[in-house]
Amino acid sequence: MTLIPITEATHGVTLDIAYATSRNFTGKPVYARPLAFLHPEADIRLRKAIGLARALGLTMRIFDAFRPSEAQWVLWNHTPDPNFLADPRKGSPHSRGAAVDLTLIGADGVALDMGTGFDEFTPLSHHASTGISTHAQQNRFVLLGLMSAAGWNFYGNEWWHYQLFDAKKYPVLSDADAPEPMMTPA
């Protein structure tokens, strides 16, 4: 199975691959390279969501997509919290190329207020949190509506995480399965 590269040029999105930077909950880069890939079925649904967002004058910023199983172990070993991370022994939808973490960008180029940051592991990050502003709740619902209309399932604890409904049917993949390595320099 070939993973599809997600790029700014091919998808009209902004890439901000958090795990290739120190701006993630581990405080250090997990990926050596800021790349994004998805399973072909997930790519189809992402493109649909991008088109729906564009019709509203919005774009998408991708924080993460395919996550090699090696990276899932790094994250799990740092913070083994099953409320926010999939146990790598069971396999993450990200490690199957069947999940994407993202937010919405307004016409002014600024990310919409979602009430918390990406990877903020608190109850305030839950989709149904009422502990955030009404405006942020509305923004989350716009993202939820766009992604749901495009055929994505959501994870209730993370407003930024969407996955294919049948994600578990896809095999867990490693860095060697990516079109370009993510975990080690080329």
Q: Where are the domains of the chain?
A: 4-177
Say what the pTM is: 0.96
At 1, is the pLDDT very low, low, confident or very high (cuts 50, 70, 90)?
A: low
Confidence (pLDDT) at 185: 64
At 39, is the pLDDT very low, low, confident or very high (cuts 50, 70, 90)?
A: very high
Name the region of 119 (left: φ>0; alpha: ψ -120 to 50; beta: rest): left
Q: Which of the residue ranges 58-62, 130-134, 175-179, 180-184 would you say has the lowest mean pLDDT? A: 180-184
Q: Kindly report, residue by residue over 76-91, the tens digit of the pLDDT.
A: 999 998 988 999 999 9
pLDDT for 119 beyond 60:
yes
**How far apart, in whole angstroms, are the C-alpha atoms of residue 144 and residue 141?**
5
**Torsion angles phi and psi, residue 117, rounded to 5:** -80, 170
The CATH class for the domain spanning 4-177 reads alpha beta
The pLDDT > 70 percentage for the chain reads 98
The pLDDT > 90 percentage for the chain reads 96
Confidence (pLDDT) at 184: 73
Q: Residue 33 burial (CB < 10 Å; 0-12/13-18/19+)?
A: middle
Confidence (pLDDT) at 151: 98
Confidence (pLDDT) at 77: 95
Query: Residue 182 is which amino acid?
Result: M
pLDDT for 186 beyond 60:
no
Active site residue 158: yes
Confidence (pLDDT) at 83: 87
Report, as an integer, the average pLDDT of 38-63. 98
Report, as an integer, the average pLDDT of 169-182. 96
Report, as an integer, the average pLDDT of 42-47. 98
Q: Which of 8, 120, 158, 180 is catalytic?
A: 158
Confidence (pLDDT) at 171: 97
